[in-house]
Structure 1
Amino acid sequence: MAKPNKKGPEKTVEIYCSQCRTLLLKYRKGGKGALVKCFKERIVKDHTVVPCHCPGCEQPFAREALIRGTPALKIMGGKAFQK
């Protein structure tokens, strides 16, 4: 399978925790679909202290995974949303 484009899209979205509304990440997302995964190379700014855990409520919102051979965060359903 093809790897994701490193430069990625120009559109930047902010990803928040669903429970406490804390800012988690700024991410260059492509497309109009739901937030399912975040490739680590496209993360612009990471506001988390412990990887994949919210700094506000300390609940996990994602799991680290390899998707198409590239490190990524696999978002758990309903744990985070984008603006």
Structure 2
Amino acid sequence: MPWSTPFEDPIVLPDGRQLLTLKDAADYITKLSKKESDLPEWQTAIEVLMLVSRGGPTMLARIGVMKALNRHVERVFNPGR
């Protein structure tokens, strides 16, 4: 699968920029500091991105990057919804 393959939905970064393709995500990750990119969440995102580039569904890479980006967000169950 080419690196120019787009995600089904863009990944919105905290600063408002968007990752539109597999290459955008790879470029973003390669610009992270070594300390940041060595975190388990980013290592998983890198692995999934490489697997997807070999023919997997792009949604898996999107999920991996989103989980790494949102690793500090506490998910709270809202029973009122």
Relative to the length of structure 2, the TM-score reads 0.33
Bigger strand share:
1
Query: Whose Rg is larger?
Result: 2
Bigger helix share:
2
With CA pairs under 8 Å and 6+ residues apart, which has the higher RCO, 1 or 2? 1
Relative to the length of structure 1, the TM-score reads 0.33
